[in-house]
């Protein structure tokens, strides 16, 4: 079953942890386990971005895909995991293409670019100047690149960092001393430095706007404390958005993504039902075989127990007795077997299979042992711990 395959991976995780110099007990704190279709449901939700802190976050699907491809290379998957991961990736693709869970940015940099596009229209032909070279600048550059923009980068302390960003995102690097000159050419200026003082002052901006010949300039201040002096908002031809403006949009977009997430849930249910039907069809034949084997085992046991009571029977009569016992068992199982075969591929096949295996005790394996190196915790316990903290 899926749960067994997933739990088997804990051994692999322990090996990888040791290779990375991490004690298994440390790794165990972040490990939890789910079984059977709960495992499939969880993976489908993870791949679709519904388990992420930011609903619809796209990077996680790429991470799942890379992990699956690595597992394929290492020969660590089988038919069940192959079907499971392919189904999860398909579900994630459908959830993103058929709903709006990725359409509205919910990070400040993505909202900043979204706001610029809403204000100026198509950004691909616009000159964008990114002032700063830290994490926020990098995230902004990634959001701009997704819209076909090749920004210019200015770093107020580390010019080499600006060069590195320019090389990664197809832009160019300019020195901080060139800021006024570059602002005179730019359509959008995104400021995200860690400077304790304003990088753009009002008087300097007035001179820049005089050199622009009446062209409007959009300033987006992502820095805390602010890079752009608030008085710049009053300069003619300047549009200024700061963190207060952006945070309002972030919260509004996050609310919209939650609504789209509920639509995505119905897609996941459809994909999960398809996987469950496939799983049930894989279990029908083994379940029938196990049921027949259990009947043969019981028949043989009862015959053996009563062997001494038939001293007066001839060997021919004994064989007739054995044949009759097997025929009774076979006829008793005939109708359940037919119904189980007919259910193969249907939505209720999984219910039939599990009911038969439970009622006839066909699953005799014991619960997985937990070694001293790691504790595998149910997902609900992990979530309960997180909410409590």
Tokens (6 digits) for 303? 């015959």
**Residue 163 within any structural domain of the chain:** yes
For the chain, what percent of residues have pLDDT higher than 70?
A: 75
**How far apart, in whole angstroms, are the C-alpha atoms of residue 114 and residue 218?**
13
**How far apart, in whole angstroms, are the C-alpha atoms of residue 275 and residue 270?**
9
Sheet-wide strand order for 128-131: 172-175, 152-155, 128-131, 188-191, 217-221, 238-241
What's the whole-number mean pLDDT along residues 334-355? Answer: 76
What's the whole-number mean pLDDT along residues 110-125? Answer: 86
User: Does residue 199 surpass a pLDDT of 90?
Assistant: yes
Same domain, 214 and 293: no
Most trustworthy range by pLDDT among 54-68, 85-99, 320-334:
320-334
Same domain, 83 and 207: no
Give the count of alpha carbons within 13 A of 367, CB side only: 5
Instruction: Collapse the DSSP code of 329 into the 3-class scheme (helix H, G, I; strand E, B; otherwise coil) and give the result.
Output: helix
Same domain, 311 and 262: yes
pLDDT at residue 216, as a whole number: 93
Residue 150's alpha-carbon distances to 36, 130, 139, 382, in angstroms, are 47, 10, 14, 43
**Residue 376 within any structural domain of the chain:** yes
Instruction: Collapse the DSSP code of 342 into the 3-class scheme (helix H, G, I; strand E, B; otherwise coil) and give the result.
Output: helix
**Residue 248 within any structural domain of the chain:** no
Report the CATH number that the domain containing residue 188 is assigned in CATH.
3.40.50.720
Question: Which range among 22-26, 114-118, 335-339, 369-373 shows the weakest confidence by mean pLDDT?
Answer: 369-373
User: Does residue 35 surpass a pLDDT of 80?
Assistant: no
pLDDT at residue 203, as a whole number: 94
Q: How many domains does the chain have?
A: 2
User: Does residue 374 surpass a pLDDT of 50?
Assistant: no
Same domain, 218 and 158: yes
Contacts for 230 with CB less than 8 Å, ≥ 6 apart: 242
Domain boundary residue among 213, 241, 269?
Answer: 241
Same domain, 306 and 343: yes
pLDDT at residue 338, as a whole number: 85
Same domain, 231 and 332: no
pLDDT at residue 110, as a whole number: 78
**Residue 246 within any structural domain of the chain:** no
Q: Which residue has the tokens 């987006």?
A: 220
The rounded Cα 117 to chain-centroid distance in angstroms is: 28
Same domain, 191 and 130: yes
pLDDT band for position 355 (cuts 50, 70, 90): confident
What's the whole-number mean pLDDT along residues 74-94? Answer: 86
pLDDT at residue 337, as a whole number: 84
**How far apart, in whole angstroms, are the C-alpha atoms of residue 302 and residue 306?**
6
Residue 240's alpha-carbon distances to 213, 216, 220, 258, in angstroms, are 19, 11, 6, 29
Domain boundary residue among 241, 269, 287?
Answer: 241
Please write the tens of the pLDDT for every residue from 129-152. 999 888 888 888 888 888 888 888
Please write the tens of the pLDDT for every residue from 13-33. 444 445 445 555 554 555 556
Tokens (6 digits) for 67? 């992990």
Question: Which range among 89-93, 167-171, 225-229, 366-370 shows the weakest confidence by mean pLDDT?
Answer: 366-370
Instruction: Collapse the DSSP code of 226 into the 3-class scheme (helix H, G, I; strand E, B; otherwise coil) and give the result.
Output: coil
**Residue 247 within any structural domain of the chain:** no
Locate all alpha helices (DSSP H) within 193-314, ordered by sequence: 202-211, 243-305
**How far apart, in whole angstroms, are the C-alpha atoms of residue 60 and residue 177?**
39
Question: Which range among 60-64, 212-216, 242-246, 260-264 shows the weakest confidence by mean pLDDT?
Answer: 260-264
Same domain, 270 and 300: yes
Q: Which residue has the tokens 């069940």?
A: 80
Q: Is 183 exposed, middle or buried (0-12, 13-18, 19+ CB in 10 A)?
A: buried
User: Does residue 367 surpass a pLDDT of 70?
Assistant: no
**Residue 298 within any structural domain of the chain:** yes
User: Does residue 98 surpass a pLDDT of 70?
Assistant: yes
**Residue 333 within any structural domain of the chain:** yes
For the chain, what percent of residues have pLDDT higher than 90?
A: 15
Same domain, 233 and 282: no
Same domain, 161 and 271: no
Number of helices (H), then strands (E), belonging to the chain: the values are 14, 8
Residue 41's alpha-carbon distances to 7, 8, 88, 256, in angstroms, are 15, 18, 9, 23
Q: Is 222 exposed, middle or buried (0-12, 13-18, 19+ CB in 10 A)?
A: buried
Same domain, 225 and 280: no
Same domain, 296 and 231: no
Contacts for 276 with CB less than 8 Å, ≥ 6 apart: 37, 40, 347, 350
Give the count of alpha carbons within 13 A of 134, CB side only: 14
**Residue 103 within any structural domain of the chain:** no
Domain boundary residue among 211, 241, 271?
Answer: 241
What's the whole-number mean pLDDT along residues 216-231? Answer: 92
pLDDT band for position 308 (cuts 50, 70, 90): confident
Give residue 53's domain range.
Answer: 2-98+253-388
Tokens (6 digits) for 226? 């602010």
């Amino acid at each position: 079953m899926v749960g067994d395959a997933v739990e088997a991976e804990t051994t692999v995780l322990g090996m990888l942890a040791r290779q990375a110099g991490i004690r298994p007990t440390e790794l165990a704190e972040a490990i939890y386990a789910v079984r059977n279709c709960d495992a499939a449901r969880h993976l489908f939700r993870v791949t679709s971005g519904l388990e992420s802190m930011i609903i619809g976050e796209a990077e996680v699907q790429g991470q799942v895909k890379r992990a699956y491809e690595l597992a394929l290379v290492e020969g660590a998957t089988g038919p069940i995991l192959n079907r499971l991961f392919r189904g999860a990736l398909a579900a994630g693709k459908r959830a993103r293409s058929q709903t709006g869970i990725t359409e509205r940015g919910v990070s400040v940099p993505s909202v900043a670019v979204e706001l610029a596009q809403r204000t100026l229209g198509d950004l691909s032909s616009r000159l964008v100047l990114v002032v700063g070279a830290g994490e926020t600048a990098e995230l902004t550059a990634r959001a701009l690149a997704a819209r076909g923009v090749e920004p210019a980068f200015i770093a107020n302390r580390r010019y080499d960092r600006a060069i590195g960003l320019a090389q990664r995102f197809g832009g160019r690097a300019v020195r901080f001393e060139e800021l006024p000159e570059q602002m005179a050419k730019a359509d959008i200026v995104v400021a995200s430095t860690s400077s304790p003082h304003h990088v753009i002052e009002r008087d300097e901006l007035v001179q820049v706007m005089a050199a622009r010949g009446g062209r409007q300039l959009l300033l987006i201040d992502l820095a805390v404390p602010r890079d752009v002096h608030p008085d710049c908002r009053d300069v003619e031809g300047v549009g200024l958005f700061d963190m207060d403006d952006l945070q309002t949009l972030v919260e509004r977009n996050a609310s919209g993504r939650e609504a789209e997430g509920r639509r995505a849930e119905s897609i996941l249910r459809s994909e999960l039902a398809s996987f469950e039907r496939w799983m049930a069809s894989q279990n029908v034949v083994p379940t029938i075989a196990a049921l027949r084997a259990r009947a043969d085992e019981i028949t043989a046991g009862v015959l053996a127990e009563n062997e001494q009571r038939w001293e007066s029977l001839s060997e021919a009569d004994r064989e007739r007795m054995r044949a009759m016992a097997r025929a009774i068992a076979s006829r008793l199982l005939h109708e359940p077997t037919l119904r189980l075969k007919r259910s193969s591929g249907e939505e209720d096949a999984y219910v039939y299979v599990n009911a038969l295996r439970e009622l006839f005790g066909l699953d005799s394996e014991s619960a997985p042992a937990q070694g001293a190196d790691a504790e595998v915790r149910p997902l609900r316990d992990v979530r309960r711990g997180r909410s409590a903290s």
